[in-house]
């Protein structure tokens, strides 16, 4: 694994607003990935009833370290299950 370049966060992104039509929204915070700008975001999402949030005790690559849990989360999203 390599460090993610900070410059990736500097590119501007234009959104159409289509994401607002998604009914099941889930955000998984990997707690061992320490990045300061993410904490205000998850606190905001935790307060928003449109979002389901989870805090996992893992690093930034749960697909490697928590693969079964990632599969379970994706299956829940695919079947429309809101825990």
Please give the residue range of the domain that contains residue 63. 23-78
For residue 32, what pLDDT is reported? 87
Domain-embedded: residue 13? no
pLDDT in tens, 41-82: 889 999 999 999 999 999 889 999 999 999 999 998 888 766
**Whole-angstrom Cα distance, residue 31 to residue 59?**
7
Q: Does some domain include residue 71?
A: yes
Q: Quick one: pLDDT at residue 83? A: 55
- Whether residue 41 lies inside any domain: the answer is yes
Handedness of CA 22, 51, 7, 70 (dihedral sign): negative
35-49 pLDDT tens trace: 878 888 889 999 999
Quote the number of domains for the chain: 1
Nearest-10 Cα torsion for 61, 66, 68, 71: -30
């Amino acid at each position: 694994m390599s460090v993610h370049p900070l410059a990736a966060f500097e590119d501007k992104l234009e959104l159409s607003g289509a994401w607002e039509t998604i009914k099941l929204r889930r955000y998984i915070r990997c707690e061992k990935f320490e990045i300061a700008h993410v904490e205000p975001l998850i606190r905001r999402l935790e307060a928003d009833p449109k979002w389901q949030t989870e805090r996992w005790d893992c690093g930034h690559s749960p697909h490697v370290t928590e693969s079964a849990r990632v599969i379970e989360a994706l299956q829940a999203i695919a079947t429309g299950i809101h825990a």
